Amino acid sequence: MHLETEQFFRALSDLTRLRCLMLLHGEGELCVCELIHAVDLIQPKVSRHLAALRAAGLVADRRQGQWIYYRLHPELPAWAIAVLTATAQGLRDEEPFASDRCTLAAMPSRPGARCCA
């Protein structure tokens, strides 16, 4: 996979996209509704940012019934994974990233990280 460096860093420059990436980095895979709940934004806004991340090659998605699940793209180059890992470690206790993780963990009706079932 070829990832454009400029596209990668532009994707990280938006707070909503960065919040979603940090959650995906920590959780592995999340349903759109989990991301909406965690970042407390409306579905169209979150979906628009996820589409931008997908277009940039940072995330991949899969459909399961009517739900769409997102994860970091499995073919991200090692340098991109290293940047995301360092970013996640550096922002772990910073807001809004710490609150996003807590909000996601407290999400009701989230059986086995599969919401909306």
Cβ-proximal residues to 99 (8 Å cutoff; 6+ apart), any chain: none
Separation of CA 14 from chain center = 12
Rounded average pLDDT over 53-80? 94
Rounded average pLDDT over 92-98? 96
Domain map of the chain by residue range? 5-105
Rounded average pLDDT over 104-111? 82
We find that the CATH architecture of domain 5-105 is: Orthogonal Bundle (1.10)
| CB contact at 8 A, 25 and 88 | yes
Q: Environment class of residue 95 by beta-carbon count within 10 Å: exposed (0-12), middle (13-18) or buried (19+)?
A: exposed
Of 92, 114, 107, 112, nearest in space to 23 by CA: 92
The pLDDT score that the predictor gives to residue 2 is 81
Q: What does pTM read for this prediction?
A: 0.91
DSSP 88: H
